[in-house]
Structure 1
Amino acid sequence: MLKTSDFDYILPSTLIATRPLEDRASARMMVLPRRNKEQIHATFADLPRFLRKGDRLVFNDTRVIPGRVFAHRSTGASVEILFTEPCDSHTWKALVRPGRKMRVGDEVLLGNAQITVQEILPDGLRVLRATQPIKELMDVHGEMPIPPYMERHADEKDKQTYQTVYAKNAGAVAAPTAGLHFTTELLQELTDAGVDSTYITLHVGVGTFRPVSEENPLDHPMHSEYFHISPEAVEEIEETRRAGGRIIAVGTTVVRALEAASQGGSLESGERSTNLMIMPGYTYQIVDGLITNFHLPRSTLLMLVSAFYSREALLSAYEEAIRHSYRFYSYGDGMLLI
């Protein structure tokens, strides 16, 4: 029985990327073929030479919302709010810090708007109602919700760099970071090489920031995320499979959506939420290849990638990446498993 501690590793803090590279495609890419497990060091600009004509990349076109705001109480005390999901135009679910001091009925001010706690949910999220439309408040006061491990506030540059170049459908509270390596030029180069593209949507939720604290990963309350796969996307993917092409997921969010939508035995279109947890022992239904970043220790994302490759070989690759000073996490380098 695998334990959460089996997915641990030690990362020097100097290898945590807190800023992106100027050229997205210049990020390093470790290529891990599943058969011989030999590690190849390349860059994302080299991606076309590792793919074949007829392969299909599947992208997550979610768009990150500027959902983090800093409100204040009447006493002047600051309150951090991360809006996560709308209930209606004036009411959203949110992660609030410090949460214990924000009880039902408490109020904070954001600009000229008043925000009131209406409900505390079992998972600790608050239901907040504002006197103005919350989307308008985010547009004026919001900043990009970059991960806490960057240990800085987001700035204007993050509004561009913490967003994929193909982001379309707003709703994520974190970027699908594997996609941050793609430029419009690289996408065109892949198209010219005969590599096809399909877009689906999964709105990355606040659970992506929550580590697995239980020693048995199966005891971890897996977060739920909304996704949508169109009938056209299903047909494109199935056409590629019939023709012998490979389905390559750009990011773990794409993996979750495709695999969740195929639990009935075939890939189904539609929109719904999934709390599917993938860890070693899981049999992949749709995905033949995976482009992904380096993930946090003891995380569900590290478990998901281990299920595609192997835990031992993946952690060995992480050790190799550390020896070669790869940059880790959201703004860092990545890998291609194929």
Structure 2
Amino acid sequence: MRLVTSYINPDLDGVASGIIYATYLADRRAVAAFAGSLNAETTGVLAHLSIADDLELDRPGAADNDGVVLIDCHHPAQIPHIPDRSGVVLIIDHHPDGDAAAFPNALVQNEAVGAAATLVAERVAAAGSDGSLSRLASAHAALLACAIASNTLDFSAPSTTDRDRRMFAALAALADPDAALDALLSRMREWRQSFLSAPTTEAVHQDVKIVEGRFGPIAVAQLEGDGASRLLARPDLRQAVEGLADRPAVQYVLLSLVDTAAGTTTLITPDPLVRQALMALSPESVDDITLRLPFIALRKTHVIPALTAGYRPTSSYPGRISG
């Protein structure tokens, strides 16, 4: 059996793309299985479409002897559940921060689109006898459409392309009216910003990726939603961000607040080295731990590349520097 997976704690794009690949594109029996936990948006969409049974959690060894298909990621630090990278046979990704050389036996498709779901949907169409998406079940068409909308932040993210828009339209046309896609997209926005009603530490730790930056391992948290910048008013925000360093091997920390209503991104870090790296994005300095960008900056498209520019693997890192 072949394992189709993504980074630990995957988002809707990785999960949806994995399910569709395992169901329609694998050249042998495959299972979509993911390590970690799923966010509220992903579990909500899967439940709404009644396809939660199409995947499994915490089964990273489901296909140890038959290869791994890695979707929506090819950064080694983000896949601790895949210790043997030589077993990865295919990568489908859309981010500039990965390391293709770390996967010596993998065919790599890494294209600049807004969602991995767009690439997977294009593969489904190309594999069909008529070059269309007609063989997709309506619930699966809706799932991919939701993933594209989610990962492009309803097509407001700067990484959005015409390919994403065209594929979303084609998938939406295939979705069963009973899926109530417009209403589901509205619910997704509510799920994405549910962190606003959570305690600060819980919110900050909700979506974290560990990145091997050029000066050490960095925990990069990101929260997206209308009004995300309201968290800046919380007196315990700095403490919650600093608490990200309690994760194993983490030396530096960063929180990115993507306010989709304001069209801005606020970056919070107590670490001078992280702040210095982020200056490549030309932010406005708000205070000693806060930087602001006048646009929607995505973690994998903008932030992580700034943190990893010029990175070369090393066996040791300098100690954490706190402001």
Is the TM value for this pair above 0.5?
no
The structure whose residues are more often helix, as a share, is 2
Whichever of the two has the greater Rg, that structure is: 1
* Higher RCO (CA 8 Å, separation ≥ 6 residues): 1
Normalised TM-score (structure 1): 0.26
